[in-house]
């Protein structure tokens, strides 16, 4: 890593991701309620579960279209990264940050086949990079994903020498893409939260029970108006 290498790819930061989520929430809720209202107006005798499912499907489809529009409206999505054996230089939205490699405490390279959630943590700040080409993360191309993976692959010797890899017990598949995982600097103790200690089937049961209770509450309220 003595010579400086450059990596470029399109994506967004976590702040932009939150803004898009908040902007999307209003029309998504509006579409859901509109479909429910139209179903009640034109199909009053339909079992109430069917309008809910229809509203959910339409809301997802409309949300994907809105996300694509919002993604195309983002002016600057480029991440420009220069790295050598001492410094990591990251430029995004005309803001340049120089991070000594010795200051990095943790690197999280998570996500799935079509998207990457790359997080770089130091004592002073946290940089969150979001790259993806799926329906709900339509900010990049396949080439951007490959360049993001190439950057982490270039970091691999540095990670293997200076970091321990966290055991992700709550993940079903930890080999989704190269160098998937959470890396913690060797000088710090790896900490596990309650969620981290659970196995995938235990988390699945929690989500299923939570989803079932949510549906019961939803249907109980809807029945009052049906």
- What string of pLDDT tens digits covers the 226 residues of the chain? 667 899 999 999 988 988 888 888 889 889 888 888 887 777 766 666 677 788 888 999 998 999 888 888 888 899 999 999 899 999 999 999 999 999 999 999 998 889 999 999 998 899 999 999 988 888 999 999 999 999 999 999 999 999 999 887 666 667 788 899 999 999 888 776 666 666 665 666 776 777 667 766 666 655 555 5
pLDDT of res. 219: 60
Are residues 166 and 199 located together in one domain of the fold? no
Are residues 79 and 171 located together in one domain of the fold? yes
Are residues 182 and 126 located together in one domain of the fold? yes
Count of alpha carbons within 13 angstroms of residue 91, beta-carbon side: 9
**Domain C-terminal end among 58, 73, 88:** 73
Cα dihedral 100→102→104→107 (10° resolution): 110
21: enclosing H helix or E strand: helix 14-42
Q: Number of structural domains, the chain? A: 3
Domain that includes residue 55, residue range: 19-73
**What is this structure's pTM?**
0.79
């Amino acid at each position: 890593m003595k010579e400086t290498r450059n990596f470029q790819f399109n994506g967004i930061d976590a702040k932009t991701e939150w803004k898009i989520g908040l902007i999307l929430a209003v029309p998504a809720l509006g579409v859901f309620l509109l479909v429910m209202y139209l179903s009640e107006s034109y199909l009053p005798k339909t079992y109430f579960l069917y309008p809910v499912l229809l509203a959910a499907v339409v809301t997802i489809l409309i949300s994907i279209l809105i996300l694509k529009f919002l993604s195309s409206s983002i002016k600057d999505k480029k991440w420009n990264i220069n790295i050598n054996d001492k410094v990591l230089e990251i430029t995004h939205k005309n803001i340049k940050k120089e991070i000594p490699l010795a200051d990095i405490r943790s690197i999280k390279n998570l996500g799935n086949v079509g998207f990457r959630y790359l997080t770089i943590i130091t004592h002073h700040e946290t940089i969150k990079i979001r790259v993806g080409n799926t329906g709900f993360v339509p900010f990049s191309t396949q080439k951007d994903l490959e360049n993001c993976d190439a950057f982490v692959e270039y970091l691999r010797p540095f990670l293997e020498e200076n970091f321990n890899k966290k055991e992700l017990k709550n993940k079903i598949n930890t080999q989704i893409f190269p160098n998937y995982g959470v890396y913690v600097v060797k000088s710090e103790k790896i900490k596990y939260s309650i969620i981290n200690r659970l196995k995938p089937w235990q988390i699945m049961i929690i989500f299923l029970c939570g989803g079932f209770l949510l549906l019961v509450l939803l249907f109980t309220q809807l029945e009052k108006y049906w």
